[in-house]
Amino acid sequence: MTRKIAWVTGAGSGIGKACALLLAKNGFNLILSGRRRHMLEQVMAQAKAEYDADSLVLELDVRNREQVLKVTSELDSAWRKIDVLINNAGLAMGLSSFENGDLDHWDIMIDTNIKGLLYVSRAVVPLMIEAGTGHIVNVGSIAGKEIYANGNVYCATKHAVDALSRSMRLDLSKFPVKVSAVHPGAVETEFSIVRFEGDKEKARKVYEGFENLVAEDVAEAIWFMISRPPHVNINELTIMPTAQPMAGVIHRK
């Protein structure tokens, strides 16, 4: 049987990497995109060695509209029937009260989390419509369901992901293309290291004194959504560490 194809954005680390490997384990070939080619190539090698999955590595910044449209339109016929798209690439930058917000950080978050997700989706959706099937999973956040102190613009971008997920589902279900969203709480990945611009000590403290989620927890939730039969769509799923009952509240020992 031919293997299905999943495109995972931001596949070189964290949740994206865990999704890619779990999908490979479950019989998918992979399109792996992100800006750091060497990280993607490591995932490609692991997916091949452990699960005999083939991968196509795309060094791609989701903010680059022309590049996103170009690489998608130039996909070889063997890679054009994309069964699953996981819009995972995203980031937080900074954790400042609104009046101190860094405008460059705001631009990067808006360009990546909202516009990047839109560019990739807009490029891939016609291929799914042509195939008459497809499933898009948007990685939102608890920050897209609630707000927390100093989360301001990151929360706004993830609220946009939530609204877009619902809008995309409304518009695309007629083809039928499924759209789901997963909204995780705190997951220890490169997320906080990126948020604090490489300050690993500050990032480590975010996860101190409680059991955070790991990337594989989120990947398993996403796999549950992807593996439902054609007539079932999991619209959204919020997944939190038990010690984090809501955004911004963590019970630490």
Do 205 and 219 contact (CB within 8 A), yes or no? no
Nearer to ligand NDP, 175 or 223 (CB): 223
Exactly one of 84, 185, 189, 213 binds ligand 8X3 (CB under 6 A); that residue is 185
Separation of alpha carbons 66 and 99, rounded Å: 34
Catalytically annotated residue among 119, 148, 154, 207: 154
User: DSSP secondary structure string, 22-42?
Assistant: HHHHTTEEEEEEES-HHHHHH
125, 186, 203, 222: residue in contact with ligand 8X3 (rule CB under 6 A): 186
Is 51 tagged catalytic?
no
- Which amino acid is present at 102? D
72: contact with ligand NDP by CB under 6 A: no
How far, in Å, are 36, 88, 95, 202, 242 from residue 207 at the CA level?
A: 25, 21, 15, 10, 13
Check binding of 112 to ligand NDP (CB under 6 A): yes
Return the range that interacts with ligand NDP (CB under 6 A); candidates 8-16, 50-58, 70-78, 168-176: 8-16
Q: Please give the residues from 47 up to 66 whose contact with ligand NDP meets the rule CB under 6 A.
A: 61-63
Q: Cα(181)–Cα(183) distance, rounded to whole angstroms?
A: 7
3-state secondary structure of 58: strand
Q: Name the residues that contact ligand 8X3, by CB under 6 A.
A: 141-143, 185-186, 247
Q: Name the residues that contact ligand NDP, by CB under 6 A.
A: 9-10, 12-16, 34-36, 39, 61-63, 88-91, 112, 116, 139, 141, 184, 186-187, 189-191, 194, 215
